């Protein structure tokens, strides 16, 4: 039995020691390099192609399990579903990606299984999302081997994936056997951005990381998820469980516009079984939105899906409650650390306060978003 009211973090990252060591051997991005800053050696992480100001400081909070637990304790987080941070294996040749995926999945299973347990329960404090070797020229068999390995790892509850697929994006039909295997295994596919959008969109002013992180990341997720919907993935795999990072980016805001554009495009309209808004109700979104109005809004958008189910003539009025069940607390740790040392991370406090202040959510719904939804989605008990 799960103790009541656990806080569960479903968006929290790690660079496992094996992955961090690989990044240290590299001379091109992504890499970890040592720099002399104010006379002191400091590790810096460079993962984006146009990384401003020599990358970001990186330390044990990115790889140490003790640091993860310390962070969880500091913020009252009972359980974390940990995922490798971007850019995963995207930049590796197929043979290396395949081997590293299997090794990292085994490492993550061990990271979770040998970790602590929630007091007075059999629930572990750490679960994980595994990795697939999603790179060009990988064989379908290698991808299915990794899905199978994850599904047989008791503490791995899903897999994290970027937007590139095998090089042609996630709407590539070559991925159909992979979606089928993920669906059949009941794993959750966590879609997370890395590439943003064309840097030319950001102009030439130095705005640090702000534009790529605040806009580029969510726009990338928005595009990838929309392409998946347009490809008919949810018609072919209706039980696929897809979790979108950063509350689905701009997709909830744009979903009626998307539906209208589809309606005006006979080629696409004839390909899909339902109105675009129906598919929104199939998604799960993290609650990494930093604002209560945004959380209330996305839950309302998710909840109206059945109004758009083809053949369902009884219009059901939107009830945020239904939508809130698909929204799950996350921190994005160890990204967005406080600039000055503080007891709690502002980014975490903001996301918790946002959940607490959503107009129209009952305490039960808030508890759901804080943890109960995750326990049920990932079948943790």
DSSP 62: G
Q: Which residues contact 149 (CB under 8 A, 6 or more apart)?
A: 102, 105, 106, 130
Choices 96-104, 324-332, 351-359, 362-370; region in contact with Zn ion by CB under 5 A = 324-332
Q: 3-state SS of the chain: helix, strand, coil percent to 5? A: 45, 15, 40
202 counts as binding ligand URA under rule CB under 6 A? no
Q: 106 or 213, CB closer to ligand URA?
A: 213
Considering only 335, 347, 349, 376, the residue that binds ligand URA (CB under 6 A) is 335
> Site for ligand URA (CB under 6 A): which residue of 12, 86, 223, 255?
86
Q: Which is nearer to ligand URA, 164 or 282 (CB)?
A: 164
| Alpha-helical segments (H) within 26-174 | 65-74, 94-113, 140-151
One character per residue 43-62, x = contact with ligand URA (rule: CB under 6 A): ----x---------------
- Residue 271 to residue 377: CA distance in whole angstroms: 29
Using alpha carbons only, give the angle 42, 83, 26 rounded to the nearest 5 degrees: 40
* CA gap 348, 75 in Å, rounded: 8
In angstroms, the CA 355 to CA 168 distance is 36
What is the footprint of Zn ion within residues 329-358 (CB under 5 A)?
332
Distance CA 37, CA 53 (A): 12
- Residue 91, contacted partner among Zn ion, ligand URA, none, CB below 5-8 A by kind: none
The residue within the footprint of ligand URA, chosen from 85, 161, 175, 188 (CB under 6 A), is 85
- Tell me the residue number closest to ligand URA, measured at CB: 335
* Minimum distance of ligand URA from residue 167's CB (angstroms): 21
Question: How far is 290 from 347, CA to CA, in rounded Å?
Answer: 7
Nearer to ligand URA, 246 or 366 (CB): 246
Partner from ligand URA, Zn ion, none contacting 86, C-beta within 5 to 8 A by type? ligand URA
Report if residue 286 touches Zn ion, rule: CB under 5 A: no
In angstroms, give the least distance from the CB of 213 to ligand URA.
Answer: 6
Q: Residue 219 or residue 361: which is nearer to ligand URA going by CB?
A: 219
Distance from C-alpha of 247 to C-alpha of 2, rounded to nearest angstrom:
26
Nearer to Zn ion, 192 or 277 (CB): 192
Nearest to 326 by CA among 260, 273, 279, 293: 279
Q: Which three-class secondary structure state does DSSP give residue 58?
A: coil
Beta strands (DSSP E) in 211-314 are 241-244, 283-286
Interface with ligand URA by CB under 6 A: which residues?
A: 13, 47, 85-86, 213, 332, 335
Interface with Zn ion by CB under 5 A: which residues?
A: 332
């Amino acid at each position: 039995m799960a103790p009541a009211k656990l806080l569960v973090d479903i968006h929290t990252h790690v660079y496992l020691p094996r992955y961090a060591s690989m990044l240290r051997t590299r001379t091109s991005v992504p890499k970890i390099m040592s720099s002399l800053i104010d006379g002191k050696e400091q590790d810096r992480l460079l993962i984006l192609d146009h990384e401003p100001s020599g990358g970001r400081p990186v330390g044990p909070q990115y790889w140490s399990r003790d640091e993860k637990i310390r962070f969880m304790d500091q913020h009252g987080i009972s359980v974390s579903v940990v995922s490798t941070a971007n850019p995963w294996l995207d930049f590796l040749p197929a043979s290396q990606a395949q081997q590293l995926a299997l090794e990292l999945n085994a490492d993550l299973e061990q990271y979770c299984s040998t970790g602590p347990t929630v007091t007075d329960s059999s629930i572990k404090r750490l679960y994980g999302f595994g990795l697939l070797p999603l790179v060009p020229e990988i064989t379908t068999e290698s991808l299915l081997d990794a899905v199978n390995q994850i599904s047989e790892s008791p503490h791995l509850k899903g897999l994290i994936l970027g937007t590139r697929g095998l090089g042609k994006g996630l709407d590539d039909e070559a991925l159909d056997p992979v979606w089928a295997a993920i669906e059949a295994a009941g794993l959750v596919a966590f879609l997370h951005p890395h590439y943003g959008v064309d840097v030319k969109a950001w102009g030439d002013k130095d705005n640090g990381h702000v534009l790529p992180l605040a806009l580029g990341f969510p726009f990338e997720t928005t595009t990838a998820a929309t392409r998946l919907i347009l490809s008919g993935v949810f018609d072919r795999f209706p039980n696929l469980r897809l979790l979108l990072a950063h509350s689905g980016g701009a997709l909830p805001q744009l979903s009626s516009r998307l539906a209208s554009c589809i309606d005006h495009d006979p080629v696409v309209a004839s390909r899909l079984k339902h109105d675009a808004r129906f598919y929104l109700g199939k998604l799960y979104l993290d609650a990494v939105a930093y604002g209560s109005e945004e959380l209330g809004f996305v839950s309302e958008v998710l909840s109206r899906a059945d109004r758009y189910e083809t053949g369902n003539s009884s219009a059901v009025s939107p009830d945020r409650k239904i939508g809130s069940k698909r929204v799950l607390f996350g921190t994005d740790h160890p990204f967005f650390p406080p600039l000055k040392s503080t007891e709690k991370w502002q980014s975490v406090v903001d996301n918790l306060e946002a959940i607490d202040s959503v107009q129209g959510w009952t305490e039960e719904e808030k508890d759901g978003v804080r943890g109960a939804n995750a326990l049920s989605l990932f079948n943790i008990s």
